[in-house]
Amino acid sequence: MENVKDNVRKIVIIGSGPAGYTAGIYTSRSNLSPLILAGEQAGGQLMLTSEVDNYPGFPNGILGPELMNLMKAQTERFGAEIVYENLTGVDFSNIPFKIFTRDSYYKAEAVIIATGASAKWLGLESENRLRGKGVSACATCDGFFFKNKDVAVVGGGDTAIEESLFLTKFVNKITIIHRKDQFRASKIMQKKAFENPKIEFKWNSKIVEILGQNNTEAVMINNIKTNEEEKLVVQGLFVAIGHQPNTNIFKGHIELDEKGYIIVKNQTQTNVEGVFAAGDVHDHRYRQAITAAGLGCMAALDAEKYLRNVV
């Protein structure tokens, strides 16, 4: 393997979203000289987000990529080294830990995993084209922008119902589109949805196309049982079919739950001493930029204490 990095780092941070960059700021200020493995496409999910209006400190809002670039600049200001390589493997069996990329590997006395989670999408070309232009995977992030509009929500689990109920604070009407004739969501959540006058339902249906050039204007729905197609005029589409933590590469190296999220104890510690986790990679409840940043801070403080007292 080329470019083997024989010098042992105090800490390597894997990931470059709010959690990774915040961990970089804190570990840099603790004189740990962190290396951030950012990946070839740095910045996490916020690089795919347009307006961010709920991150403190920006009263007029900020674009997702701009927020990430500011975090990156702040991280570099305090001396963190950022490399734009994709992770290919890890070895947490011994200290120093080994972190592999395509052409090199790095050694570290401690590791913070902040690889985040990715929203599951429908896989439509129009969905990708209109993402941030009416298509979203986060109602709590974007719901405010759809005041008095008609929107659709795709999904049948607790996430879809929770997102729909949250959206009722802003929108005129919500149509929940589900592939089956009953929800997977908990009964109490279903009851709330059925009783809400703003929510309507399309059963046994799937979205086959999203219409609009520069903004979402409608969705084409296919009834799975009858094969009939219907055009539903909406100004927004929220895809709520779940998230997938970016943890496949860590299987067999650290403990994961049944959905692939990292299991932590004492807030950020994994089952491997010296390996910490921060952000959406273990937080499947909140999934917000601000909570990811907070967890990045926590992981950095925990790692700094570990390095001070153990290594």
Q: Is 142 a catalytic residue?
A: yes
Question: At CB < 8 A and 24+ separation, what contacts does 288-291 make?
Answer: 288/54, 288/140, 288/141, 289/17, 289/18, 289/46, 289/52, 289/54, 289/55, 289/67, 290/18, 290/54, 290/55, 290/56
Tell me the C-alpha distance between 290 and 56, whole Å.
8
Q: Which amino acid is at 15?
A: G
For the record, the structure tokens of 291 come out as 């909570």
Residue 175 in 3-state DSSP? strand
For the record, the structure tokens of 4 come out as 């083997």
Residue of 53, 103, 141, 280 with catalytic role: 141
Residue of 6, 53, 103, 142 with catalytic role: 142
Residue of 53, 138, 280, 297 with catalytic role: 138
252 to 85, 90, 108, 271: CA distances (angstroms): 22, 10, 19, 12
Place of tokens 């779940």: 242
Q: Which residues are catalytic?
A: 138, 141-142
